[in-house]
Amino acid sequence: MLVPMPVSEVMRTPVKTISPDAPVIEAAKRLRDENIGSLVVEDDGDCVGIITESDIVAVTAAEGDTRALSVSDVMAETLVTTSPDADIETAVDLLRTNNIKKLPVVEDGSLVGIVTTTDLSDYIPHLSRTRATADSQSQQKRFTRPDTLYENEDWTFESFGTADGIDVGDHVRFSKTITQADVEAFAEASGDTNRLHLDAAFAEGTRFGRRIVHGTLVSGIISAALARLPGLTIYLSQELSYQGPVDIGEKVTAHCEVVERIKDNRFRLATAVDDADGNCIIEGDAVVISDPIPETA
C-alpha cells in the first residue's frame, strides 16, 4: 500500500528547547549531556531561532570571552520550519534549499516536533545519492540489443551504454501499463491477495478510495529495466521509498542509472519509477552484479 508520508509520522517529539537568555555554556552542556544535535530557541512560547552543535564549535573557536555569551548571541535567527501535515519530500526540499540539517515542525504557532536529515534518510534512501548530468547522459550511445528472452509490443525501453557491460553513467528506461490482469496474476503468484488490490467495494472504504496496484508489483518494473542493461544483471540489494499509489491500467516508467562502481563487476544504481504524469512514485537505490552473458549453443 502506497501513500505519501507526512512529517508528523517522522518527526521527533518532544522538542528540546532553550531560552535566548540562557548562557551559551548551558546550551553546550545540554547538547553534550542529552546527546542531541540542536536546541530550538523559544521566547514566551514563540520559536525565535535554533542553536546547533556547529554553532557551539564556531563560538568555541572564536577569540574573546565566549563563556559570557548568551544563546541569542549565537543562535541562527532565520528559522525555517514546516508543518506536521507536509509530506516528507517537501521537508527534504526545505532542508536542501536552505542548506540546513534541522527543521522544526510548527502547527498553529506552536512547536510540535523536529525533523532532521538523519530522520528522513531512513525513509528516503536516495537523499545522499547523486545523479549524472543531462549533458553527460546525452553523450552516451543508445544501446538497443536486449538480453531478454522476448519483448512485448506494449513495452518500451531505451538503454544507454555499450554492449560490453555496464559502467558508471549508463542508464535505462522501461515502460509498461499495469493491467488488471497483471494485478490478478501477481496476487495469485505472490499470495498477496489484499482486498485493496482486488475488491473494488472494499477499496472504496480505504484512504485511497479505489483499487490500486501492489507496491511490489510496481517496484518490479525496476527489475524489468535492469534486465535491459547490457550483460546479465543480478540483484544483491534494493532500497525503496514509496511516494504514492498507482492506479490499475496506468502506464509507469522505471529509470535506472549506474552511479558507482563498488568493486569489479559490482555496481550501485539509482532507481526510480514514475507514474503516467511523470511524478516519482518510487525511488531508491540498488546494488547489482553485472556478469557477461553466457555463451549458448
Which CATH number belongs to the domain containing residue 243 in this structure?
A: 3.10.129.10
Give the integer Cα–Cα distance in Å for 161 and 174. 15
The answer on 146 and 270 residing in a single domain is: yes
Q: Answer whether 291's CB lies under 8 Å from 267's CB.
A: no
In-domain check, residue 114: yes
Could you please report the per-residue DSSP string of 16-63? PEE-TTSBHHHHHHHHHHTT-SEEEEEETTEEEEEEEHHHHHHHHHSS
Give the integer Cα–Cα distance in Å for 290 and 284. 19
> Which CATH number covers residue 59?
3.10.580.10
Q: Please give the pLDDT value at position 180.
A: 96
Please give the backbone phi and psi of residue 35, each rounded to the nearest 5 degrees, phi first.
55, 50
Q: Please give the pLDDT value at position 136.
A: 43
Q: Please give the pLDDT value at position 297.
A: 44
The answer on 112 and 141 residing in a single domain is: no
In-domain check, residue 129: no
In-domain check, residue 296: no
Q: Please give the pLDDT value at position 211.
A: 97
For residue 206, give the DSSP letter: S
Q: Answer whether 69's CB lies under 8 Å from 75's CB.
A: no
Q: Please give the pLDDT value at position 205.
A: 96
Q: pTM (2 decimals)?
A: 0.58
The answer on 268 and 147 residing in a single domain is: yes
Domain residue limits at 271: 134-291
Which cell numbers in the block locate residue 246?
Answer: 498507482
The answer on 142 and 16 residing in a single domain is: no
In-domain check, residue 128: no
Q: Answer whether 66's CB lies under 8 Å from 59's CB.
A: yes
The answer on 282 and 140 residing in a single domain is: yes
The answer on 151 and 115 residing in a single domain is: no
Q: Please give the pLDDT value at position 263.
A: 87
In residues, how long is the chain? Answer: 297
The answer on 67 and 193 residing in a single domain is: no
Give the integer Cα–Cα distance in Å for 260 and 188. 37
Amino acid at 20: P
In-domain check, residue 243: yes
Give the integer Cα–Cα distance in Å for 51 and 39. 5
Q: Answer whether 198's CB lies under 8 Å from 206's CB.
A: no
The answer on 287 and 140 residing in a single domain is: yes
Q: Please give the pLDDT value at position 124.
A: 63
The answer on 153 and 281 residing in a single domain is: yes
The answer on 66 and 46 residing in a single domain is: yes
**pLDDT averaged per 10 residues, the chain (length 297):** 72 94 93 92 91 85 73 89 90 86 92 89 55 43 65 87 78 94 97 97 96 96 92 90 93 93 91 91 92 75
The answer on 146 and 118 residing in a single domain is: no
Residue at a domain's end among 97, 123, 149? 123
Q: Please give the pLDDT value at position 106.
A: 94
Residue at a domain's end among 65, 89, 123? 123
The answer on 145 and 112 residing in a single domain is: no
Q: Please give the pLDDT value at position 4.
A: 62
Pinpoint the alpha helices (H) of the chain: 24-33, 53-61, 71-74, 88-98, 117-121, 134-138, 180-190, 195-198, 200-204, 215-226
Residue at a domain's end among 89, 123, 157? 123
Which cell numbers in the block locate residue 232?
Answer: 546479465
Candidates 84, 117, 101; CA nearest to 13 is 84
Q: Please give the pLDDT value at position 173.
A: 92
Q: Answer whether 254's CB lies under 8 Å from 225's CB.
A: yes
